[in-house]
Structure 1
Amino acid sequence: MTDKTTVVVTGLGATTPLGGDVPSTWSALLAGRSGVRPLEWDGVEELPVRFAAQLAVDPAESIPRPQLRRLDRSQAIALIAAREAWGHAGFAPPVKRNRKGEIEQPAPDTGFVVDGDRLGVVVSSGIGGLHTALNSYDVYKEKGWSRVSPFTVPMLMPNGASGHVGIEFGAMAGSHALVSACASSGEAVGYAIDMIRAGRADVVICGGTESCIHPLQMASFGAMRAMSTRNEEPQRASRPYDKNRDGFVLGEGAAVMILESEEHARARGAEIHAIAAGCGYSGDAYDIVLPDPSGGGQAKAMRRALEDAGLGADDIVHVNAHATSTPAGDVAELASIKAALGPAAERITVTGTKSMTGHLLGGAGALESVITILTLREGVVPPTANLEDLDDEVDLDIVRGEPRPMPEGPAAALNNSFGFGGHNVSVVFRRAV
């Protein structure tokens, strides 16, 4: 082990295609339930792909309409996930202030009050306010510039979600938004770990959000031939490692974690759900879209994550894989896992939970980090859904059919996130003991 500051996870929050919070999402994963369903848009029949993994719970059920009108959908769901994580960590609700900075609603007596100067935020998005950008342009074309909302710019900014979360919870140690396509929120977790280790913060709200299920996005990914076109059976479309996989399924959602220094968490008597042990990064420097087929860059990210965590390959018992259900990507990742872990890869379990949630793009790494933490805490691996005919090139232990119990005792797991541009991120979590 290393002498680095130990960073722990004390709060979890999410809103996903499987449920409006973490418990409902986790239950659906263990049941092997899909969050994918047909799109119900006018003219959807003209699109090459007519389904996606949409949110299970409308944000309007949690956020009042006046506030919702000033938020892009991706920002709204980030706030929902952050509020759940904050409460789950046992923190007091934030102090409410008016525009003059005067306290309108003080913090209640229940819950731990966090020093804002020691609180940071890292909430990422791969695309940001796509709905706002496109819908605002439609308003401009149809009604003229004067009808465009004055909130358009803050609603479309990729850092808007991080900004809103920081404002709501009074985070003054720093508010950040890393953008690296589908690796964005994996990087957010790594940056949050670094903030605490560097002494910049005691507590960091970190995670990711994405909501870009829009006709233009469906058409764009469709033109790339990147998405599954299994329009007649959408719930079976995302099928990592299956011989008949034909692309990913677009999803939307947000997931947020509360990270703290172990010293801070134990001083306030917090429940620790896992240890955020380390993070590794690499760049393929190969292609703007395609991963390096050798898997060398991905393997480097995993090895660097282990080094950062002070662990060896034999400490890893599980990998929550990036596993998007693309023909090339799935087997390339398995090759990189074997390259990174060596002989130890033969005894690990691997799962691909995008088979049920769809691909949340910039929010994927955060959601799958939450799932990895729950896997360690609960001692059970969610199955990979829709895996009916295993690809001949797959030679690792893929959990499918039913959830799989994990071994008891000390355990660590990797969560991989890879993005367009050759961004590779791997995060290591350890079971809290």
Structure 2
Amino acid sequence: MSTFGSHFRVTTYGESHGLSVGCIIDNCPPGLQLDASRDIQPHMNRRRPGQSALTTPRAEKDRVEIQSGTENGITLGTPIAVKVMNEDQRPKDYGEGAAEGTMDRFPRPSHADWTYLEKYGVKASSGGGRSSARETIGRVAAGAVAEKFLREAYGVEIVAFTNSVGSEHLFPATKEWPSCATNPKFLELLETVTREEVDNHLPVRCPDAKAGERMEQVIRDFKEREDSIGGTVTCVIRNCPSGLGEPCFDKLEAKLAHAMLSIPATKGFEIGSGFGGTEIPGSIHNDAFILAPALPPSTNPTHAALNRPRLTTKTNNSGGIQGGITNGAHIYFTVAFKPPATIGQAQETYSYGSEKGILEAKGRHDPCVIPRAVPIVEAMASLVVMDAVMAQNARSASRALLRPLEGTVPVDQGGQKNAVNGSRV
């Protein structure tokens, strides 16, 4: 389906070479200050094509227009429509792309041309249609709105960065550290990395200059050969409220996996210690509980200082989620992206009419999607957390209408305060 979320609901629309792309955001809280140029456009600029010589040269400004749901820069609580016009359409690029025919006769290997035709009986005649990265514009726009609310209400910080391109890794695996998620230096980076730091290392968006240079060279090499290469993006969510997630089937890591694997070109997802954690014994992998200092006072009541230290964990192999519910620690995960399917090299294939032929794809395409995928991963993470926050707040507001049950700990007797609803356990 084209709709994501149960409470904060986002529906995206548009094809890669249609008139426009965008989204409808339903159930955004009213009273949020929202300005398209200030709050959404910067996210679009990080996602748009033509950012460097390593991305597709398609010249799209991706100018954001808010069509409804706000008045005088304030959200009304009604559906928010966001539109971005496709200004640099070139459907003719897809008209002559094969040595023995045209691209509309030959499905591109590893692209969605064939599967879309199998599913719908008809497909977009140019570009990737709904499977194109142009579809993610609506996700990034909606994610920008969700992120602003989370930042203002809870101080949530979401930062993604390039972790690897091809065989070049920010933190290469070793015998001692089988995956970057088990490397202490990687975990230290998650504590401090900022979006500004990531964007200062363009065009790859790797927060380490030397590693970024190696990754950039890998992409250049594949581009020169009219080939493509994949990689991974890591994302950290800091200051996420505890208590989020809906067991059993909508655990927060399950929702994150759903969201990330819905992004075009994704092929893998791991959270916390991930696959590398399978090589560590439980005696080391378990996250021991320790006492943490009280949260600092804040003008926001959800950030009020607690009257006694709260629990945290000495390590964070769980990636901030236990039993499908956030525990207040940093959430971190990594998403794998395959090499872009459309390449300029000649490929043997078959036409829709079962004729053997050679396909040499034309058009403008990324040799590696990783640098532009970074803001998309951040956007989808924002949508997941926003939806979970609204679900938890709905439950808490309903529970607050009832009298306390006997045998439970009253609110005024201390205990750990949940950052979302203020209840004590």
TM-score range, shorter chain: under 0.3
Give the structure with the larger helix fraction. 1
